[in-house]
Amino acid sequence: MAEKESSLTIRWAVIIGIVTVIFGGLFGGYTSNANRLTRLEAQYAFMVNAVSDLKASQARVETVVTEIRLEQQRRQVKEK
């Protein structure tokens, strides 16, 4: 005669299975959220770098325009 599993053993197996599923879901949510935050931080860093590069480019353009304007003024003074 084969031994029957006791109902206590089956209950514990079900409880352990449910707890495992809950912890697995929590872990999956945590890793998903962590990945989303990492992507958001990377996008933020990219935007900060892009704005910095844009400001540096604008400063260089302003310098060149100022030099061009000064050169035009020098030429106008020489023509007079």
Residue 63's φ and ψ, nearest 5 degrees, are -65, -45
How much is the average pLDDT of 48-76? 92
Distance between alpha carbon 72 and the CA centroid of its chain, in Å? 47
Predicted TM-score (pTM) of the model is 0.47
pLDDT of 9 > 60? The answer is yes
pLDDT of residue 4: 66
Which alpha helices (DSSP H) does the chain contain, by range? 7-79
Please report, as a single letter, which amino acid is at residue 48.
V
Q: How far is CA 11 from CA 33, 38, 61, in A?
A: 33, 40, 74
d(C-alpha 36, C-alpha 27), whole Å: 14
Please report, as a single letter, which amino acid is at residue 23.
F
The encoded tokens of residue 78 equal 């020489």
Average pLDDT over the chain, rounded to an integer: 87
